[in-house]
């Protein structure tokens, strides 16, 4: 069984891949996309990219705003964001 610590470790290990994936999603979904500012760590950059993609999608499709950024991340990664085989 995975723990939150394991999930965070997995997220951290693939932070650059997550950042890149959700930055592309942000650009593709956004009407006038705003890139997130650079953060202090790759982990924070990845979190900012997920939030930015959510914001871009919500600005284009208002019903998306009814779900959390992490629900969008789960849907965009087909439920495999923290799976051993993603991306």
Write the pLDDT tens digit of every residue in 25-61.
999 998 888 899 999 999 999 999 999 999 999 888 8
Write the pLDDT tens digit of every residue in 28-37.
998 888 899 9
CA–CA gap between residue 40 and residue 3 (Å, rounded):
25
Model confidence pTM above 0.75: yes
> How confident is residue 2, by pLDDT bands cut at 50, 70 and 90?
low
Using alpha carbons, list the distances in angstroms from residue 17 to 3, 5, 50: 21, 19, 12
| Widest CA span in the chain | 41
């Amino acid at each position: 069984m995975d723990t939150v610590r394991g999930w965070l470790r997995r997220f951290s290990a693939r932070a650059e891949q997550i950042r890149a994936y959700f930055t592309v999603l942000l650009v593709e979904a956004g009407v006038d996309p705003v890139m997130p500012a650079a953060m202090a760590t790759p982990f924070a950059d990845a979190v900012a990219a997920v939030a930015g993609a959510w914001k871009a999608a919500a600005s284009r499709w208002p019903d998306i705003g009814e779900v959390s950024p992490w629900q969008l991340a789960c849907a965009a990664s087909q439920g495999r964001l923290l799976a051993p085989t993603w991306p």
